[in-house]
Amino acid sequence: MTNTTQRLLLFFAGVPALIVAIIFLPGFHHAAVSLVFIITSGGASWELATLLQAKGFPVRKRLSALTGTLIPLVFWASTWMPHLILPGRSILLGTACLLLFILTPFAFARTDAIDRLMPEVMGLVFVILYPGLLAGYMVLIAASFPHSVVALLTFIAMTIGNDSLAWVFGVTMGKTRNIVAVSPNKSAAGFIGGLIGSVGLALAISMLAPAYFQVHPLAIAAMGLVVGCAAIVGDLFESALKRSAGVKDSGTMVPGRGGFLDSIDSLLFAAPAFYGMSLLFQLFQ
């Protein structure tokens, strides 16, 4: 079975399953979808540790996976106590506490071990921020908005639309390639198609559910443009990591996509952009 066939099968099976879970399993602050995000973040952190090890950073995979799981879990837990701690504050507090917990042992290391441990410290901090912190915003989209079903569907539509149209435009019209060094196969047509997908689907959903989008269409288009650009940068950032490590995919767990990190690279950058724009325009409240 070719990679393209696997990718299409995953799309036509996985996307409907995700939509069903969003619509019919919203209980406990979208626990089902949030759990998928949390587990995926843990798997992506394991894969990132592998990439870092290839570059000489002695990052422990199990600790990395635990870190990548705990941070979005803290985000989800914060949505249960908005009266006690605002989600934004709990995000910072939870991330800071996790940093302290992980980094404190290194403060008591032997002098002759400091040079050896420093690369591990740097690697762990990187894992905490990426994918951990960024994945937390995926959970916030699922769990913190009063109208989280619409918020989630909009986010998924915009990011999948970006990825899908970028692929279609790239395959059918992508003649101008090698415009970014980290991913020579990317084309100008693919980037344009991705932005059209994000903006177009944002506008389409706003017209289908106008009650949740009480802003000017230009604001919705701006949101789609920002999220689309973030998704593209997220994809390129992960491509840079893989190119640096000398690998094609971050893993092999997701047929047609590669690894967990390959599957959510765009989402990781798009999630905080979507969350921030939603708060700016007071959407899904």
Q: Is the pLDDT of residue 84 over 60?
A: no
Q: What share of the chain is helix, strand, coil (3-state, %, to 5)?
A: 80, 0, 20
Query: Which domain range does residue 49 map to?
Result: 3-280
Distance (Å) of CA 39 to CA 7, 24, 199, 229, 230: 21, 20, 29, 26, 22
What size, in residues, is the chain? 285
Q: Which of 266, 272, 279 is nearest to 40 (CA)?
A: 266
Residue 285 lies in a domain: no
Mean per-residue pLDDT over the chain, rounded: 87
Residue 45 lies in a domain: yes
- If pLDDT is split at 50, 70 and 90, which confidence band does 276 have? very high
The maximal CA–CA distance of the chain, rounded, in angstroms, is 63
Cis peptide before 131, with omega less than 30 degrees from 0? yes
For residue range 203-252, what is the model confidence (pLDDT) as tens digits?
A: 999 999 999 999 999 999 999 999 999 999 999 999 999 998 889 889 88
Residue 261 lies in a domain: yes
For residue range 105-116, what is the model confidence (pLDDT) as tens digits?
A: 777 877 777 777
Q: Hunting for tokens 């837990």 — which residue is that?
A: 77
Q: Is the pLDDT of residue 85 over 60?
A: no
Residue 60 lies in a domain: yes
For residue range 157-207, what is the model confidence (pLDDT) as tens digits?
A: 999 999 989 888 888 887 777 788 888 888 888 899 999 999 999 999 999
* Residue 139 Cα to chain centre, angstroms: 10
Residue 110 lies in a domain: yes
Overall average pLDDT of the 77-94 stretch: 64
Residue 264 lies in a domain: yes
Whole-model pTM? 0.91
Sign of CA dihedral 202, 207, 213, 214: positive
- The angle at the Cα of 70, spanning 28 to 39, to the nearest 5 degrees, equals 70
Three-state DSSP at 254 gives strand
- pLDDT for 101: 75
Residue 119 lies in a domain: yes
Residues of the chain with pLDDT > 90: what percent?
Answer: 49
Residue 61 lies in a domain: yes
Q: Is the pLDDT of residue 27 over 80?
A: yes
For residue range 184-195, what is the model confidence (pLDDT) as tens digits?
A: 888 888 899 999
- pLDDT for 138: 94
For residue range 38-57, what is the model confidence (pLDDT) as tens digits?
A: 999 999 999 999 999 998 88
Q: What are 152's two structure tokens?
A: 């989630």
Rg value, the chain, Cα:
19
Task: Classify residue 205 as exposed, middle or buried by CB count within 10 Å of its CB (0-12, 13-18, 19+).
Answer: buried
Q: Which of 40, 270, 158 is nearest to 166 (CA)?
A: 158
Q: Is the pLDDT of residue 5 over 90?
A: no
Q: Is the pLDDT of residue 87 over 70?
A: no
Enumerate helices (H) and strands (E) in the chain, giving the number of each.
10, 0
Q: What are phi and psi of 127, to 5 degrees?
A: -65, -35
User: Number of folded domains in the chain?
Assistant: 1
